[in-house]
Amino acid sequence: MEDFWNNRYKEKDFAYGKNPNVYFKNTIDKLSLEGTLLLPAEGEGRNAVYAAKKGLNVVAFDISEEGKNKAMELANSEHVDIDYEVGELKQLYLKKNSFDALALIYAHFPANEKEKLHKDLAELIKPNGYLILEGFSFNNLELREKNPKVGGPANREMLYSKQEITDTFTDFEIIELEEALIELNEGSFHNGLASVIRFTGKKKA
């Protein structure tokens, strides 16, 4: 997978654009988040840079070195600092209960790793901290067949459902959980009508 993402991110243009994901932006603005934010699978840094501009202390990671290069380029151009690591979660030294918020934005993991990764990531959030998630739903497969430009995994088991969210993130109070049809306009690889799961949860004390 490293080769896939390095090839996608090594191009001059930003694969998913430079603007933050709309749900991510609207949610952190609405919650008036402060403190530390963790962004796994952050790619080229569009969400990390926006959060840093809002005053959050941002830690991001991804398996792609090219993604980091683009993220640091964007951060420098916007005059903000982000802490960006390259590697998988198991290779990083992140402490439990250490982040005020964590956001998974189109972070799709292999089916055999997904549940454990989600639970391990949830443990990194402080009590009363927030989890923000937007990802493609099961129903996106049909839309992807009609319009490949909408993007997302072709493997159903890598996608999200509302039931999976409630079953996995049991330590979180649900602030928002919905499946929505949205019009994506994010760079070259997220374009068109998409079916997504949107979740905001607050970790129980």
**Do residues 37 and 51 touch, judged by C-beta distance below 8 A?**
yes
Which CATH number does the domain housing residue 56 bear? 3.40.50.150
DSSP string, 7-65: HHHTSSS-TT-SSPPHHHHHHHHHHT--SEEEEET-TT-HHHHHHHHTT-EEEEEES-H
Domain count, the chain: 1
| Segments forming the whole domain that contains residue 31 | 2-203
Phi-psi region of 55 (alpha: psi -120 to 50; beta: other; left: phi over 0): left
pLDDT values of the chain reduced to their tens digit, one per residue, 205 residues: 899 999 999 999 999 999 999 999 999 999 999 999 999 999 999 999 999 999 999 999 999 999 999 999 999 999 999 999 999 999 999 999 999 999 999 999 999 999 999 999 999 999 999 999 999 999 999 999 999 999 999 999 999 999 999 999 999 999 999 999 999 999 999 999 999 999 999 999 9
Calpha distance 74→88 (Å, rounded):
22
Angle at CA 54, nearest 5°, toward 52 and 58?
30
DSSP state, 143? H
Calpha distance 100→46 (Å, rounded):
19
Residue type, 121: L
